[in-house]
Amino acid sequence: LASLTHKMILMKSSMFRHTCFLSMLAPAAGFMSGSSPSSSSAASLLTTSSPLAFSRFSRVGGIDGSNYRRNLPTVRMIGSLFGDIFGEPSLISPEKALPGRSQKMPNISGLRHYVLGNDLEEVPEGYKVAIFANGCFWGSEKGIWRLPFGIHSTAVGYCAGFSPNPNYEEACSGLTGHTEGVRVVYDPSKISFVDILRWFWEAHDPASGMGQGNDRGTQYRSGFYYFDDDQRRLIEASKEVYEKQIGKKITTEIAAAADYEKYGGIWFFGEPYHQQYLSKPGSRPYCSAQPQGVSLAPFDSWAPEDLKEAYAPKLDEAFWKKYAPKRGCSVVQESNEPIAPGSW
């Protein structure tokens, strides 16, 4: 274990840049409790995400809310380090995933958006929902709540997995199949689905497989999940053109939200602690996303003809010229308040 740890330290000079740390110590907890590990067994634990390893770690003393919150300055590390050693992780199968629970995340009901002030759960009549994942959800969420109009609320949580009502540690372990995601409730009369979709593509590297930047693991995979056929067609059409623009094969997962009903649903809210995290006093300005600095091609050049009128962008090119995501995940340095309408 000491030798492996030393190797990991040598491979990463920055020890405090990753957040999924404690749950990835499952193998180490087993080692410390008397087992005799090998590198191959460690690799197996991390690439196949054994529920036994996770439950064993929990018994050994494990993970509780106060513990991981106390260690958040160090918590996105071990998973990435093991990923460097053992290669690209693979998504757990539904049969091997943790069983989950029936209880919903506590203290979400009635919780209001820290910046926008609206109830996180409500969807007003006529409003729409979009759900996507593009790396660590802290920065992903902030980029969307800052859009200048039409955003009722954003929330972070766990999407596209197989275990109902996971918590952070479980999702972080890779044992539930979830990816860190963002749920957007928006007014389509003020902002278009296409505006949100464009921000999604430009705010990360959609060709990075199971991870984003320094954050590696299935819980950081890129994904966009559609609620109707219009959304599906727009996601797929924009993917096709953006793939050509960036010159890399896009690995973004595109799936119907309805596909996850048999697993309890597409979306589960994250802990209140993580909601609008980057706007809160004392937060650490962390973001792992890797914007490519490539603007999505003009809407009219790729949108299906019959959707052009209904989904025309509300944000003009002047907005994107000034406020589009920049290389280096600059969103963490921006104001927490929404962009002022007309400021571009």
In a domain, 215, yes or no: yes
Query: Per residue in 45-61, pLDDT tens?
Result: 444 434 444 433 333 33
136 is catalytic: yes
Across the chain, mean pLDDT equals 83
Does residue 73 register a pLDDT over 70?
no
Across the chain, the runs of DSSP E, i.e. the strands, are 128-133, 151-159, 179-186, 211-212, 215-216, 223-226, 253-256, 267-269
Residues 174 and 248 in one domain: yes
What pLDDT was estimated at residue 329? Answer: 79
Beta bridge pairs of residue 233: none
What pLDDT was estimated at residue 10? Answer: 37
Look at residues 65, 86, 107 and tell me which one is the last residue of a structural domain: 86
In a domain, 279, yes or no: yes
Q: Residue 178 sits in a domain of what CATH number?
A: 3.30.1060.10
Residues 80 and 132 in one domain: no
Least confident window among 80-94, 167-181, 182-196, 268-282: 80-94
In a domain, 210, yes or no: yes
What pLDDT was estimated at residue 77? Answer: 54
What pLDDT was estimated at residue 280? Answer: 97
Query: Per residue in 219-242, pLDDT tens?
Result: 999 999 999 999 999 999 999 999
In a domain, 189, yes or no: yes
**Domain containing residue 218:** 128-333
Residues 180 and 48 in one domain: no
The average pLDDT across 135-140 equals: 96
Give the closest residue to 254 by CA, choosing from 131, 96, 129, 94. 131
DSSP letter string over 228-244?
A: SHHHHHHHHHHHHHHHH
Look at residues 86, 114, 142 and tell me which one is the last residue of a structural domain: 86
Confidence of residue 144 (pLDDT cuts 50, 70, 90): very high
Beta bridge pairs of residue 76: 19
Look at residues 19, 54, 86 and tell me which one is the last residue of a structural domain: 86
Number of domains into which the chain is organized: 2
> Ranked by mean pLDDT, which of 13-22, 41-50, 58-67, 302-311 comes out on top?
302-311
Least confident window among 82-96, 225-239, 275-289: 82-96
Residues 256 and 319 in one domain: yes
- Residue among 136, 159, 172, 329 flagged as catalytic: 136
Percent of the chain with pLDDT over 90: 71
Q: Which residues have C-beta within 8 Å of that of residue 249, sequence separation ≥ 6?
A: 207, 243
The average pLDDT across 270-277 equals: 99
Would you tell me how many other CB atoms lie within 10 Å of the CB of residue 247? 9
In a domain, 112, yes or no: no
Residue where the block lists tokens 């990835």: 24
Residues 24 and 159 in one domain: no
Q: Which residues have C-beta within 8 Å of that of residue 262, sequence separation ≥ 6?
A: none
Confidence of residue 17 (pLDDT cuts 50, 70, 90): very low
Confidence of residue 15 (pLDDT cuts 50, 70, 90): very low
Residues 182 and 312 in one domain: yes
Beta bridge pairs of residue 224: 132, 254
Does residue 99 register a pLDDT over 60?
yes
In a domain, 106, yes or no: no
The average pLDDT across 20-46 equals: 38
Residues 77 and 168 in one domain: no
Residues 55 and 202 in one domain: no
What pLDDT was estimated at residue 11? Answer: 41
Residues 187 and 313 in one domain: yes
Residues 219 and 70 in one domain: no
Confidence of residue 88 (pLDDT cuts 50, 70, 90): confident
Residues 251 and 315 in one domain: yes
In a domain, 344, yes or no: no
Query: Per residue in 167-219, pLDDT tens?
Result: 999 999 999 999 999 999 999 999 999 999 999 999 999 999 999 998 999 99
Using DSSP, state whether 218 is helix, strand or coil: helix
This prediction has a pTM of 0.81
Which of the two residues, 227 and 332, has the higher pLDDT score? Answer: 227
Residues 149 and 267 in one domain: yes
In a domain, 287, yes or no: yes
> Ranked by mean pLDDT, which of 3-7, 10-14, 44-48 comes out on top?
3-7
Using DSSP, state whether 224 is helix, strand or coil: strand
Does residue 26 register a pLDDT over 70?
no
